[in-house]
């Protein structure tokens, strides 16, 4: 007998809450300021161009696909769905917590909330990456959503850390703002490789490419940051292509 995912309806409710809070955060807006206003208030060298945040629309569409997939009678009992356990609900809670903390300018606490969000998505990513011989539904509605979600939140977390450094006037390791901004970009590349290499995931690094190109576009008048972001983005892009080719060859050898 196959058991359906015990949290499937809670997942749907939690996701609906996330969408509602996201809408209200800019419609009200929460704290009297929208997300863009806060980003402008704490503008740093690794703030990406505004268009980059449109990726949230793709992320939420894919997560909606996951929620619908795990609700269906014929797929809610799949091991790939059941493996997500309570982690999707936790990710939704941390997502909403971040929004409240960010909008009410508890910036330092918002980094902690985003770290918890990052950790919960990472668990979901690892569990869904363990799917062997995924069906088309599992590939597009279980694996893909968490690849893109984790990639973007990882990049956003580094920006959030940068904002805390800037807000408090810190100089980690004696570095200037330009210096620690470049250091964070380099850490992002290491993070992208460290997460994506074990499962040979070529999609997640492309999210970093999206972020880095947006940073280069936004700071095109600041030559050092523009060049650094563009070069690192290009290197990560080549790495992502290599992963895709490597995985395709590995798959073909099995047959």
Task: Write the pLDDT tens digit of every residue in 1-52.
Answer: 457 889 999 999 999 999 999 999 989 999 998 888 888 899 999 999 999 9
Quick one: how far is CA 217 from the chain centroid? 20
> Do 122 and 195 form a contact (C-beta atoms < 8 A)?
yes
- Give the residue from 79, 118, 80 showing the smallest Cα distance to 98: 118
pLDDT score of 134: 87
The 8 Å CB, 24+ separation contacts for 172-180 are: 177/44, 177/45, 178/45, 178/224, 178/225
- Residue 173 in 3-state DSSP? helix
The arithmetic mean of pLDDT across residues 60-75, rounded, is: 95
The secondary structure element, H or E, covering residue 133 is none
Residue 255: the pLDDT is 40
d(CA 162, CA 181): 7
Q: Dihedral of the CA atoms 247, 249, 251, 255 (nearest 10)? A: -170
pTM of the model: 0.94
Residue reference for tokens 């523009």: 226
Contact 50, 36 (CB under 8 A): yes
Question: Is residue 212 a contact partner of residue 230, using CB atoms and an 8 Å limit?
Answer: yes
Three-state DSSP state, 83: coil
Taking the C-alpha atoms of residue 159 and residue 145, their distance in angstroms, rounded to an integer, is 21
Is there a contact between 48 and 215 (Cβ–Cβ < 8 Å)?
Answer: yes
Q: What is the pLDDT of residues 133-179, one digit of tens each?
A: 889 999 999 999 999 999 999 999 999 999 999 999 999 999 999 99
């Amino acid at each position: 007998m196959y058991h359906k995912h015990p949290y499937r309806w809670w997942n749907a409710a939690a996701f609906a809450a996330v969408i509602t809070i996201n809408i209200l955060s800019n419609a009200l807006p929460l704290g009297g300021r929208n997300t863009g206003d806060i980003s402008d208030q704490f503008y740093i060298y690794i703030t990406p161009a505004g268009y980059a945040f449109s990726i949230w629309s793709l992320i939420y569409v894919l997560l909606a696909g996951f929620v619908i997939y795990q609700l269906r009678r014929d797929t809610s009992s799949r091991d790939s769905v059941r493996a997500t356990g309570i982690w999707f609900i936790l990710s939704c809670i941390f997502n909403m917590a971040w929004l409240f903390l960010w909008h009410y300018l508890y910036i330092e606490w918002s980094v902690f909330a985003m770290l918890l969000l990052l950790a919960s998505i990472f668990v979901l990513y690892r569990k869904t990456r363990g799917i062997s011989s995924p069906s088309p539904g599992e590939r597009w509605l279980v694996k893909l959503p968490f690849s893109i979600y984790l990639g973007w939140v990882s990049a956003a977390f580094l920006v959030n850390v940068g904002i805390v450094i800037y807000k408090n006037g810190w100089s980690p390791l004696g570095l200037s703002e330009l210096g620690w901004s470049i250091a964070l970009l380099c850490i992002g590349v290491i993070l992208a490789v460290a997460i994506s290499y074990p499962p040979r995931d070529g999609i997640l690094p492309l999210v970093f490419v999206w972020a880095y190109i947006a940073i280069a576009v936004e700071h095109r008048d600041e030559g050092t940051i523009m060049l650094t972001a563009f070069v690192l983005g290009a290197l990560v892009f080549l790495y992502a292509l290599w992963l895709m080719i490597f995985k395709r060859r590995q798959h073909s050898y099995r047959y």
